[in-house]
Amino acid sequence: MEEQCLVILDTDTNTATEAGKQTPSMNNNSNNSRWKLAGALLTTLCFAVAGALLFVGKAKYPSAFLLIQVQDHVQEADDIRHTLRQISGNLRAAIHLEGEYSSDLKSSVEWKRNVNHYHAQGGLELIDNEIVIPQNGLYFVYSQVSFRVSCSSDDTNRPMVHLSHTVQRWSRSYGNDDNKKEYQTILHSVRTACQKMASSNPEEEGNWFTTIYMGAVFNLNRGDHLKTVMDERLLPHLDEDEGKTFFGVFAL
């Protein structure tokens, strides 16, 4: 709030007449001094009045001044939210899950949130142990499982161990609806091997460690579901050490 002061100084005829009788130099100097002094006093008075009016205004109408301050803070908050939306809009969708064995699941690893290197952004979610795609687009889908199984120590009778891991997709583009859960395989890997391993630890004698990794790019649709499938007999042999079994998707 600002106040302006307009000062008008008039001199009467008598004063002018008397002043005219003085010598020109004395008259001019005296008048200039009086004008400067009067101007300084009136300017000081003007600022004092403006300050008093501002103080009285805040005291008499505090809500008006408070409203102005609130509006300023609201505008700042809106600017921050707008900036955050721009940043989040530039983030590419991605999710990374780590898995462990669960006796409640008979055909899949249990994928876990908020453990180890888990992260999720851009709308990708884990729902009912399945990854849900937020938008149409190209996505890289990947998964890895690690096993710890035992082989016979008899060289003449070495059993073959068959390991497999599958990623399947459910999509309305297949003609499915929400009540019809028919999945199609998009990634599948099988490994058959067995190897006798010598170890200084008797408990590890004959243990066999292997990893299956697979990944590829797919054109996925909004609302698609991705899940993993594994043979039930292999699940108890899952290696749950950090970084060995995972499932993820990221947008390209």
Higher pLDDT, 16 or 134: 134
**Which tens digit of pLDDT belongs to each residue from 101-114?**
998 999 999 999 88
**Which tens digit of pLDDT belongs to each residue from 171-200?**
998 887 767 778 999 999 988 766 555 555
Total of domains in the chain: 2
Domain-located, residue 4: no
Residue-level pLDDT at 198: 52
Whether residues 82 and 118 fall in one domain: no
Residue-level pLDDT at 117: 84
Nearest to 230 by CA among 180, 201, 190: 190
Whether residues 78 and 124 fall in one domain: no
Whether residues 30 and 155 fall in one domain: no
* 29 has a pLDDT exceeding 60: no
User: Which CATH number does the domain housing residue 104 bear?
Assistant: 2.60.120.40
Last-in-domain residue among 40, 58, 87: 87
Which amino acid, 105? Answer: L
Whether residues 234 and 136 fall in one domain: yes
Domain region containing 51: 13-87
Residue-level pLDDT at 7: 44
Q: What is the mean pLDDT of the chain?
A: 75
Task: Specify whether the CB–CB gap between 194 and 106 falls below 8 A.
Answer: no
Whether residues 171 and 55 fall in one domain: no
**pTM score, two decimals?**
0.60
Domain-located, residue 114: yes
Task: Return the exposure string of 117-134: e unless at least 16 CB atoms fall within 10 Å of the residue's CB, then b.
Answer: ebebebebebeebbbbbb
Last-in-domain residue among 87, 104, 134: 87
d(CA 128, CA 144): 19
* 81 has a pLDDT exceeding 70: no
Band (pLDDT 50/70/90 cuts) for residue 56 is low
The residues that bridge with 100 in the sheet, in sequence order, are 110
d(CA 163, CA 149): 10
Domain-located, residue 1: no
Last-in-domain residue among 55, 87, 119: 87
